[in-house]
Amino acid sequence: MKYARLSKEQFEELHQEFINFLASQSITADEWNDIKTNKPEAAEQELDVFSDLVWFGVLGKVKYLEHISPQQIHLFQCNEKSMRLIAFKIENEVVDFTTKEGFNWLRDNLLSDSIQFFNAKKEYSDDKHLDLFKMIQSGGHITKGDLFEYFATLIKG
């Protein structure tokens, strides 16, 4: 398995897609029940293959990722061959970017010397999807990019 097995809840949400996946391999409901009972390792393998297919599809559509912690914000724009990063870091532990107040503080003090700002571009490794997956596994969240675009506009202006 290249990525990670979907959770029970994710499998439940993708129940129909999983049925279609099995059908594409000519596996009927009765055959699937038989595989689960008599060949659990084969069933595990089918779950893993389906999970990887789902992850591959999701990762192929990722345009933006965010990772926000109390003293750091990392905003990524995921382009075809590289990603662009806009990041903020603060040493002041009183400010917590994960709260509304902390975010408002950042907005009001954006030009403060207490904020370190980073704007960078990074090429993907040979496997863009795996790079994105690792970022998600380490706490990144797929977003629509509103926050990235907001700060990108401020940087240009």
| 157 residues of the chain, pLDDT tens digit each | 999 999 999 999 999 999 999 999 899 999 999 999 999 999 999 999 999 999 999 999 999 999 999 999 999 999 999 999 999 999 888 889 999 999 899 888 888 888 998 999 999 999 999 999 999 999 999 999 999 999 899 877 5
> Considering the entire predicted model, what is its pTM?
0.85
Regarding whether 110 and 33 lie in a shared domain, the answer is no
Q: What is the DSSP string of 85-147?
A: EEEEEE--TT--TTSHHHHHHHHHTTT-TTEEEEEEEEE--S-HHHHHHHHHHTT-EEE-SHH
Considering the domain boundaries, does residue 97 fall inside one? Answer: yes
Considering the domain boundaries, does residue 25 fall inside one? Answer: yes
Considering the domain boundaries, does residue 2 fall inside one? Answer: no
Answer with the one of 44, 59, 74 that is the final residue of a domain.
59
Q: Whole domain around residue 41: which residue ranges?
A: 8-59
